[in-house]
Amino acid sequence: MELKNSIRKKILLDRKKFSEVEHFNSNDIIIKNVSDFLYSKVKEKDNSLEKKFKLVVGLYWPMAGEPDLLKLVVDPRWSVGIPKIKGERMDFVKYEVGSQLEMNMFGKLKQPSNNIKLIPDIAILPGMAFSLFGHRLGFGLGYYDKYFSKIDKKITKIGVCFYENLYEYLPHEPHDIKMDYIITDKSIISFNSELAL
């Protein structure tokens, strides 16, 4: 736990120097990589079901230092949910361009004000850092871990970060969720090539 906290402190210091201008091209590459991945999953389902399939994608409201993927919201091939926190509970709720927003209980992130819950087929998670073994370092509050532990449906989990936040190793606990994929501006890593939606 102490090692996790020292890594968090280092990353938070780095985030104070974060420049959106410097990361503009890297962010666009991540958007393209994620979009291509999602589109490949839509095509797989369309072919297997022989009808139009609409993917449900869990996104997130970005903080400084995290890739901003909100451009993906306008794509008609998927519906989007954004995390909404109420007390100890987090759910993904429907989000569209123009949806009314409110600040979450910590006053740091925007979340939809509606309560229309969606369970994602694919959830795209931000993190302070990710490891080459699929582990995620968050803020330590455990909302994502608790969410995935209570959902029966198999949800494909994709961690996204800038390449500099990809670590060879991160400390982790047995209850920490592992990613199925990690997408950066320089790499796409799969931890289960046989994973189905």
Q: What distance in Å separates the CA atoms of residue 191 and residue 75, rounded to the nearest whole number?
A: 27
Label residue 46 exposed, middle or buried (CB < 10 Å: 0-12, 13-18, 19+): middle
Q: What is the reported pLDDT for 136?
A: 95
Place of tokens 């910590």: 106
For residue 23, the domain's CATH number is: 3.40.50.10420
| Domain span holding position 75 | 2-190
User: 197 lies in a domain?
Assistant: no
User: 132 lies in a domain?
Assistant: yes
Low-confidence ranges of the chain (pLDDT < 50): 194-197
First to last CA, the chain: 33
- 188-190 and 181-183 strand pairing: antiparallel
User: 196 lies in a domain?
Assistant: no
Q: What is the reported pLDDT for 194?
A: 45
Q: What is the reported pLDDT for 47?
A: 65
Note if the pTM is more than 0.85.
yes
- Domain count for the chain, please give it: 1
- 78-86 and 89-95 strand pairing: antiparallel
